[in-house]
Structure 1
Amino acid sequence: MTVTCKLGKDSCSPPDSRENRGFSSVPKCTGHEGDEGEAGILLESFDVEPLGPREWVTACLRRVCTVKTVQNKFPIIKWLPQYNIEKLAYDVIAGFTIGLTVIPQAIAYAAVATLELQYGLYSSFIGCFIYCVFGSVKDITIGPTAIMSLMVGTHVASFGAYYAILLCFLSGAIELLLGLLNLGFLINFISVPVTSGFTSAAAVTIALSQLKGILGLGKYVDSNDFLETMEQIFMNIKHSSLWDIILGVVCCIILLFLRKLREWDITRFLQRPRLQLILGRFIWLMSTAGNALIVLFCAALAYGISDPDHPEKIPFKLTGHVKGGLPPVRPPPFSIPGNGTEPGKDFGEMINDLGSSIIIIPFIAILESIAIAKAFSHGKPIDASQEMIALGLCNLVGSFFCSMPVTGSFSRTAVNAASGVKTPAGGLVTGALVLLALALFTQYFYYIPKATLSAVIICAVIFMFEYDELIRIWKSKKLDVLPWLGTFLSCLLVGLEYGILFGAGLNVFLLLLEVAKPRISVQKRQMGEHEYMLVRPRGDLTFPATEEVRTTISKNANQHPGVPIIVDLDRITNADFTSAKAMGAMGRDLAEQGRELVFVHVGKGTRDVLDAGMHGHFKDFHTIREWIHETRPTDPTSACKGDDSARTHSEGDTYVPRF
């Protein structure tokens, strides 16, 4: 094999030289054994290594009081100086559009959370104001979501609004703490299949829970659990209301039609640009504000056919009274006073009642918000820790305004982006519109049919079922379908909070299994007159894979007695003490049999670990040719044959399949 290198006036060290071993600063010009080709020109080289504890603390302290740190923690400082009238116009339009969307959704999501309907509106404005200052993604809107509402309803249904508000405070405190500690990287431990399976299961659970509104079974179905809800619906299907079914189905059809309408290509029917612009904007407004329009129309219909003297004659189940006015500003309840019938509860008892939701809900909120931030960042890097700080403050401050836990909303964020929002200031308009609705219009919410709100929720969540993502996962790597299915089924069968934990655990198990069962290539080769067994493991040489590598080497060593074992670590980037000790024991056993265990293509970090852990049994060479030249009698014919000879005389490969 001829190896050349062009580095201007400089030249590289010979392939066999010790300077080229491992990850040194000297350009490496050698290829794999048996490869041919010309090395490229090394322009720049650097290694990225994790900081030690002392270096990490020092780096953090240096970053605390810099201008860049202040700008990162208060993103409004970056975009406010460049704000202008044009951006204001876009933000006002987008904020008003989101306001029309969030008001009916907030009322509906409060029902999902088993809270009084005004709490949905209480949760919809504070996040808009806080995120404007601390948020780093212009498109994100913070407020109640379908998944959060379902999770809250699951844990506080039997306790009431006090628990939802306290849960909002605790969730915000945890999110803020994690963000301040720069632990945003923890979100990377949840894979896309797990997230997709969880989201799809939540969509199915929420849609099923809203069938009670479509069927008019609100007083017969009181569960958010998938199996229990299904059982209650089937047992009480005879009590369904025909008028509610008709209204709910018609609302669903209209909402889906309006959603599809935005995809209509009007240029095929209209040739005049001005008409295209006018009709295009009208269609966009109709499809974007579809939720608000359908709610207003159905409320007006119910009001028109109502009889003040006989309200029970209205054929639809109505939302009922929604408490008006702004929410009271007060600290979240850390205890509940007793009354004549029920004893009070202190903070410890309330924490015990909330149970695992204190950890699960902030975790889900972070997961949902960061996923949305990544989706709408347009390729820009996302500071996950800053997003956690912003989300934590939204919940923490929101708890003083009687808010339930909130997070980023994918559907409203998509509408916000489509509306052309330029900065997070659009949230100020949305928040102001929600406050206006609370102050002036809550009395009109009485006539909103429950079937209409259920239709709004169902049409919002059915598109959260990510069947297309499942297809892509199957085409990409079939093994990743297992975490998706495991998460999806466990969320439906045992609950969302336990389902995502099971899915994450299954994903980690498969990851460890893959590490423990690495792909290993074993070949019997000959270079000149010298035979050897060439073992090439892939991945990390760490303790989960130690037994697999040791077993493979031992098995092939027994099948070919007297043949030296050469382990090529060219594809190994990491090793640990356990694997080094096992390799040392194997080297000692082979030495007692008069055989060699040799390592080639060993990186510097891996060499240090093996040298320290193998207790004097570590032998490494840069190439196989170097091993032959230094340990075997010189054969004038083998020097010419090189790796081509090895390739000619190689025998069949044996592979250990990857699981």
Structure 2
Amino acid sequence: MLKRYFPILDWLPNYKKSYWSGDISAGVTVGIMLIPQGMAYALIAGLPPVYGLYAALVPNLLYAITGSSRKLAVGPVALDSLIVASGLAALKLSNLQDYIAMALFLALFVGLLQLAMGFLKMGFLANFLSRPVVSGFTSAAALVIAISQLKYLLGISIDALGTLAVLKEIFYKIGETNFPDLVVGLASVLLILALKRLHRKLPAAMAVVILSILAVYYLPIQEGNIALVGEIPKGLPRFTMHSMGTGYWSTLFPLALTLAFISFAEAMTMAKAVEERSNKYYTNANQELRALGISNIVGSFFQSYPANSGLSRTAVNVNEGAKTGLASIVSTLVVALTLLFLTPLFSYLPKAVLGAIILVAVYSLIDFKYPVELYKQRKDEFILLAFTFLTTLLIGISQGIIIGVLFSLFLLVNRISKPHIAILGRIKGTNYFKNVERFEKEVETRPEILILRFDAQLFFGNKDYFKRELFRQVTNKGEGLRYVVLNAEAINYIDSSAAKTLEQIINDLRARNIQFLIAGAIGPTRDIFYSSGLIEIIGKQSLFVRTHEAVDYCENPKTKNEIQEKISLQSKTGAM
């Protein structure tokens, strides 16, 4: 039972010496990555850089203990940081201290929601984020993040909120560009790209951070020419109680729910991808919710804003050969040692360098190939992606993901309300019955028999469509029609509304002297025939195992043999 909630009890007793080198290498590399990334992502969230290091500390350690995925690296991430910034900016808090307090309280709120969702076994919710929604949302969010960092590269002050408003203000203030900041920012971008091109495993961001600090420290740069990070508090984060009133719970609920949902979906997407590559352990969605919840709850008391698993850091974990959560523990130690001994050095770090790190990092989040594939293959899903992208980019982060999910559900409902219906005919010389539109030259049909296949469950959402299409085909057949055969192989459920509609259809057809037959009904559907009383309306003699048996009956009515009778009428809920 304890292993279920604390997976470290599963992998730690079985730890092998062969794991050691991979875990240490991955942990040190990710820890070095976390330092510049954490500080940069804190700037996105509108927080002092040190809070990015705090968010890389306790949450990462707790996830190593409670997470079911052994390779996810938890800490501050760009997307969640942007959601924090956009959500808290709308509250128009009066000063920085209130803003920080609200960000830490938000981490607590998000953690409580994730923990509750985990215990309520709501991990299935991640399935409602379709790939087009995720792709459109992530690409737009990456652009929003990139635009938000232009002020650091240009060295100008931007007070506007919203993508269009920010771009407009940048346009009017472009003449105020601080060229030393611009040179440092562009040089940092080019150097990071060059180092990555030289060797993808090089800690390019950290190298640029060190070089820029040394340049500012030793070169004769006048104070104020370049915007610096400034003084960073030394030491580990202190335990701090939250002091938020009851009114803040209702104010932050929409933002906290959005963050809880999105961060979990991000984490599960990465966890599943890692799981597919390793194929050695199973990621439990509900435990992931609980692990992220605990990490954020406890982390919030140690000055962490909402944390989540980072895509780039997780990729490094995998590439460096991490096998267990020990890699996360090592990366936590690297960040802790930095906070204890190295923070004074980071006061010389130019903000333009952090902006450059973010610009390079978010570029990889923009997916160019997938929209092109959708446009060629699935126009409806391309529209969903584009709609989510534009909503996120132009209206807002939270609105983008919510509207994207709602739109995807609308498309789903539209599809299942009008499922595929095929009119079948016999392939000449065989007992195969196929769609007459696909096998027009190979099939033969008879004017007195209509064979129809319905490729979905039959329920209140599509019962009227089913009835309308069936009678349209009945009309097309003309006066000579005597039998309607429903191939029910794809129907796995019939609800009460659809059962009533089916009863009406059968009675209407009988009034026209047309007999209704059903072929291929599977067990669960036959059970519903009995439990709903439909079996009395349909008639036991009208159920057949295969379509060709029903058609043979139409051509030459005869009694079914014993095995046909047994299989066609078998049910858990009724007698044969």
Shared fold (TM-score greater than 0.5)? yes
Going from structure 1 to structure 2, the CA distance change for 1:587 and 1:431 (only over 3 Å counts) comes to: same
List gaps (5 residues or longer) in structure 2.
Answer: 94-98, 427-442, 559-576
Equivalent residues in 2 for 1:638-649, closer than 5 Å: none
Q: Is the 8 A contact 1:600 1:622 kept in 2?
A: yes
Within the alignment, does 1:128 sit opposite 2:60 as a pair? yes
Partner of 1:173: 112
Task: Provide the alpha-carbon RMSD of the alignment.
Answer: 2.3
Within the alignment, does 1:536 sit opposite 2:453 as a pair? yes
Partner of 1:427: 328
Within the alignment, does 1:324 sit opposite 2:234 as a pair? yes
Shift of residue 632 of structure 1?
6.4
**CA–CA distance in structure 2, aligned partners of residues 187 and 202 of structure 1:** 19
Q: Is the 8 A contact 1:201 1:489 kept in 2?
A: yes
**CA–CA distance in structure 1, aligned partners of residues 544 and 293 of structure 2:** 54
Q: Is the 8 A contact 1:71 1:77 kept in 2?
A: yes
Equivalent residues in 2 for 1:119-198, closer than 5 Å: 119-157=51-89, 158-159=92-93, 160-198=99-137
Q: 1:418 aligns with which of 305, 308, 319?
A: 319
Shift of residue 248 of structure 1?
1.0
**CA–CA distance in structure 2, aligned partners of residues 358 and 529 of structure 1:** 62
Going from structure 1 to structure 2, the CA distance change for 1:149 and 1:528 (only over 3 Å counts) comes to: closer
Shift of residue 444 of structure 1?
1.7
Identity of aligned residues (%): 31
Q: Is the 8 A contact 1:580 1:613 kept in 2?
A: no
TM-score when normalising by structure 2: 0.86
Q: 474-483 or 195-204: which moved more?
A: 474-483
**CA–CA distance in structure 2, aligned partners of residues 446 and 223 of structure 1:** 27
Partner of 1:617: 537
Q: 1:452 aligns with which of 330, 353, 366?
A: 353
**CA–CA distance in structure 2, aligned partners of residues 501 and 349 of structure 1:** 24
Partner of 1:656: none
Q: 2:274 aligns with which of 357, 376, 380?
A: 376
Going from structure 1 to structure 2, the CA distance change for 1:633 and 1:112 (only over 3 Å counts) comes to: closer
**CA–CA distance in structure 1, aligned partners of residues 445 and 43 of structure 2:** 80
Partner of 1:360: 258
Shift of residue 453 of structure 1?
0.5
User: What letter matches 1:243 in structure 2?
Assistant: P
Shift of residue 465 of structure 1?
0.5
**CA–CA distance in structure 2, aligned partners of residues 316 and 463 of structure 1:** 28
Shift of residue 355 of structure 1?
4.4
**CA–CA distance in structure 2, aligned partners of residues 431 and 625 of structure 1:** 67
Partner of 1:209: 148
Going from structure 1 to structure 2, the CA distance change for 1:633 and 1:144 (only over 3 Å counts) comes to: closer
List gaps (5 residues or longer) in structure 1.
Answer: 1-68, 264-283, 336-346, 636-659
- After TM superposition, what 4+ stretches of structure 1 lie above 3 angstroms from structure 2? 471-478, 523-530, 613-616, 623-635
Shift of residue 73 of structure 1?
2.1
User: What letter matches 2:214 in structure 1?
Assistant: A
**CA–CA distance in structure 1, aligned partners of residues 101 and 298 of structure 2:** 15
Q: 1:480 aligns with which of 381, 385, 390?
A: 381
Going from structure 1 to structure 2, the CA distance change for 1:609 and 1:584 (only over 3 Å counts) comes to: same
Partner of 2:510: 591
After superposition, give the CA deviation of every residue in 1:44-97 in whole Å (9 maximum; x if it has no partner). Answer: xxxxxxxxxxxxxxxxxxxxxxxxx43232211222123244433332222111
User: What letter matches 2:467 in structure 1?
Assistant: R
The SS at the match of 2:448 is strand
The SS at the match of 1:404 is coil
**CA–CA distance in structure 1, aligned partners of residues 445 and 337 of structure 2:** 88
The SS at the match of 1:401 is coil
Going from structure 1 to structure 2, the CA distance change for 1:529 and 1:151 (only over 3 Å counts) comes to: closer
Partner of 1:334: 243
**CA–CA distance in structure 1, aligned partners of residues 551 and 360 of structure 2:** 71
Shift of residue 328 of structure 1?
1.5
User: What letter matches 1:248 in structure 2?
Assistant: G
Q: Is the 8 A contact 1:473 1:480 kept in 2?
A: yes
The SS at the match of 1:543 is coil
Q: Is the 8 A contact 2:425 2:444 kept in 1?
A: no
Partner of 1:601: 520
Which one has the largest radius of gyration?
A: 1
| Residues matched between the structures, number | 526
User: What letter matches 2:489 in structure 1?
Assistant: D
Going from structure 1 to structure 2, the CA distance change for 1:391 and 1:224 (only over 3 Å counts) comes to: farther
Q: Is the 8 A contact 1:524 1:531 kept in 2?
A: no
Q: 222-231 or 418-427: which moved more?
A: 222-231
User: What letter matches 1:396 in structure 2?
Assistant: I
Shift of residue 424 of structure 1?
0.9
Q: 2:223 aligns with which of 311, 319, 322?
A: 311
After superposition, give the CA deviation of every residue in 1:618-647 in whole Å (9 maximum; x if it has no partner). Answer: 242234554466676569xxxxxxxxxxxx
TM-score when normalising by structure 1: 0.76
Q: 1:546 aligns with which of 460, 463, 482?
A: 463
**CA–CA distance in structure 2, aligned partners of residues 416 and 629 of structure 1:** 63
Partner of 2:188: 251
